[in-house]
């Protein structure tokens, strides 16, 4: 049997919160170094707006911008809920409006698995451990069982539960990797997805360049090595494809600020007996915010826009934001449907409502947040975050491709994150539908 007739095994690994500044260190790590030497790569991957996990991971799988695939945020819009820990997320695959690589693989009768990949709840795939978080009062195990593949999940829980300590890292990464390697060894799916979040967790908790981040990057490399080892041990290596993608970087936080505090002061929203009544609402995306207009409450749009202009001018003066982007500005960036404008935060400023809701503050330096305050907003303790302008210099993503049809030691150069799905589909023999991305034909080996 020749290579063309043999079954291919494809693994896509997402390194959450890794970006071009990490490449110099990544290439010193043994398993990633091997893939770079024997595969193709780019450190110039343009990501989408917003630079947050769920929209980006959906763009990776669909080859489309949020305008088409419909996932604009990690969270649904929930303006009446003050605390992030009570907010629902875009957990379910049915929320995606365009075909994904998972859907296409199943249409081609392929066996598919996904481990902690965002927006895969209830996806029509064979082995699914979705990334879903229980809200207060919910049972985490039951929620995942309902949204994933019950027998697959129960078997892995029994086998590897001792590795995990809730969502604490690096234990969660060890658990996810062991589930993935066991899946590859036991079930040999055609397509397997793995989402690793250690670096994202450590950067949020400690800052961009903390020593814990280096340990998390080593953890990513260790996971890659374990996957490579099981592919070799299971006699699948010669016909295996490994793709590594990243989604966004992070920026250190120096200031917590609330746009909604300014909107309340300007009379554009108010809380009455715990109920929010608003004309304009700011939905945080980290280092920025979406602005939503409640047209049912607006009788004079010109007056609202004039007041909003004054609010934005004041926030610029107070070094909360640097600009407002209109809907027209966002259309060309592929992200405009469910909101009316967006705000770009002042450098190192995290847009959050916790300091306003809990302490009545519109702004506070992170160094002035006391231990008592942190204990109150423990769910919102970020020393670095994302949600910045996707065009920010120095914040391109990384893509690595390895496989029998991929060029060796080849620098792809500039590309876009929406190019990943059609390119992977082409390399593994799937027909992908029309999308925003383009096929990166140059990384493919010449046919002999």
Average pLDDT on 74-95 reads 95
Q: Would the pLDDT of 2 be above 80?
A: no
CB distance 38 to 244 below 8 Å: no
Averaged pLDDT for residues 163-170: 88
Q: How far apart are CA 322 and CA 398, in angstroms?
A: 28
Cβ-Cβ contacts under 8 Å for 201 (sequence gap 6 or more) = 167, 169, 216
Where do runs of H (alpha helix) occur along 278-364? 301-317, 327-331, 354-359
Kind plus residue range of the DSSP H or E element containing 410: strand 410-411
26 vs 219: CA distance, rounded Å: 11
pLDDT, position 166: 82
pLDDT, mean of residues 50-73:
98
Give the HSE-up count for residue 221: Cα atoms under 13 Å, Cβ half-sphere.
20
Q: Work out the percent of the chain whose per-residue pLDDT is above 90.
A: 92
- Dihedral angle sign, alpha carbons of residues 375, 50, 67, 304: positive
Rounded distance, CA 266 to CA 285, Å? Answer: 22
Cα–Cα distance measured from residue 248 to residue 226, given in angstroms and rounded to the nearest whole number: 24
Model pLDDT, residue 3: 41
Q: 250-307, pLDDT tens digit by residue?
A: 999 999 999 999 999 999 999 988 889 999 999 999 999 999 999 999 999 999 999 9
Number of H helices, E strands in the chain: 16, 20
CA-CA-CA-CA dihedral for 26, 31, 37, 38, to nearest 10: -140
**Residue 242 reports pLDDT greater than 70:** yes
pLDDT for residue 273? 84
Backbone angles phi, psi at 120, to 5 degrees: -120, 10
Q: pLDDT at residue 448 above 80?
A: no
What pLDDT does residue 1 have? 35
Please name every residue paired with 162 in a beta bridge, in sequence order, or none if there are none. Answer: none
Q: pLDDT band for position 246 (50/70/90)?
A: very high
Max Cα separation, the chain?
73
Alpha-helix runs per DSSP H in 273-370: 301-317, 327-331, 354-359
* Nearest residue to 256 (alpha-carbon basis) of 378, 362, 387, 370: 362
- Whether residue 176 contacts residue 201, with contact meaning beta carbons closer than 8 Å, is answered with no
Give the bridge partners for 448, in sequence order.
Answer: none
Q: Is the pTM of this model over 0.75?
A: yes
Q: How many CB atoms lie within 10 A of CB 33?
A: 13
Distances (CA, A) of 115 to 160, 172, 196: 14, 11, 9
pLDDT in tens, 335-355: 988 999 999 999 999 999 999
Tell me what pLDDT residue 447 has.
67
Picking from 24-28, 127-131, 183-187, 442-446, which range would have the lowest pLDDT averaged per residue? Answer: 442-446
Select from 248, 202, 187, 218 the least CA-distant residue to 9.
187
| pLDDT level of residue 165 (50, 70, 90 thresholds) | confident
Give tens-digit pLDDT for 352-383: 999 999 999 999 999 999 999 999 999 999 99
Three-state DSSP class for 352? coil
Nearest CA to 260 out of 285, 233, 287, 291 is that of 291
Q: What is the pLDDT of residue 370?
A: 97
Cβ-proximal residues to 279 (8 Å cutoff; 6+ apart), any chain? 268, 269, 293, 294, 297, 298, 304
Q: What would the mean pLDDT of 318-339 be, rounded to a whole number? A: 95
Task: Convert the pLDDT of each residue in 95-149 to its tens digit.
Answer: 999 999 999 999 999 999 999 999 999 999 999 999 999 999 999 889 999 999 9
Tell me which residue of 287, 96, 129, 134 sits closest to 196, measured CA to CA. Answer: 129
Whether 312 shows a pLDDT value over 60: the answer reads yes
């Amino acid at each position: 049997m020749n290579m063309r007739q043999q079954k291919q095994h494809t693994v896509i690994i997402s390194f959450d919160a890794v970006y071009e500044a990490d490449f110099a260190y990544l290439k010193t790590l043994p398993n990633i170094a091997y893939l770079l030497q024997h595969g193709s790569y780019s450190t110039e991957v343009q990501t989408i707006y917003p630079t947050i996990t769920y929209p980006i991971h959906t763009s990776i799988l669909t080859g489309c911008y949020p305008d088409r695939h419909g996932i604009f945020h990690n969270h649904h819009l929930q303006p009446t809920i003050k605390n992030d820990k009570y907010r629902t997320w875009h957990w379910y695959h049915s929320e995606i409006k365009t075909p994904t690589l998972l859907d296409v693989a199943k249409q081609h009768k392929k066996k598919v698995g996904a481990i902690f990949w965002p927006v895969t709840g209830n996806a029509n795939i064979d082995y699914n451990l979705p990334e879903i978080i229980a809200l207060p009062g919910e049972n985490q195990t039951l929620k995942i069982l309902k949204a994933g593949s019950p027998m697959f999940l129960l078997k892995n829980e029994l086998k590897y539960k001792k590795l995990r300590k809730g969502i604490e890292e690096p234990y969660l990464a060890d658990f996810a990797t062991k589930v993935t390697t066991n899946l590859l060894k036991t079930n040999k799916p055609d397509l397997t997805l793995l989402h690793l979040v250690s670096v994202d967790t450590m950067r949020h908790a400690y800052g961009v360049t903390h020593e814990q981040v280096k340990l998390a990057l080593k953890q990513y490399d260790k996971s890659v090595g374990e996957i490579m080892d099981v592919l070799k041990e299971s006699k699948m290596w010669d016909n295996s494809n490994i793709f590594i993608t990243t989604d966004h970087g992070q920026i250190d936080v120096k200031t917590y600020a609330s746009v909604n505090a300014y909107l309340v002061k300007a009379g554009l929203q108010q809380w009455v007996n715990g109920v929010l009544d608003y004309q304009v609402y700011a939905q945080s995306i980290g280092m920025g915010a979406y602005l939503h207009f409640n047209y049912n409450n607006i009788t004079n749009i010109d007056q609202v826009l004039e007041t909003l202009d004054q609010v934005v001018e004041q926030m610029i003066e107070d070094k909360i934001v640097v600009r407002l982007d209109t809907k027209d500005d966002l259309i060309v960036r592929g992200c405009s449907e469910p909101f009316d404008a967006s705000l770009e935060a002042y450098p190192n400023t995290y847009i959050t409502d916790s300091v306003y809701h809990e302490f009545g503050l519109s702004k506070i330096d992170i160094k002035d947040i006391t231990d008592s305050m942190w204990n109150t907003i423990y769910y919102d303790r970020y020393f670095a975050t994302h949600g910045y302008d996707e065009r920010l210099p120095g914040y391109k993503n990384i893509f690595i491709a390895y496989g029998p049809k991929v060029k060796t030691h080849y620098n792809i150069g500039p590309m876009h994150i929406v190019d990943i799905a059609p390119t992977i589909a082409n390399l593994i023999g799937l027909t992908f539908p029309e999308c925003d991305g383009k096929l990166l034909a140059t990384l493919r080996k010449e046919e002999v």
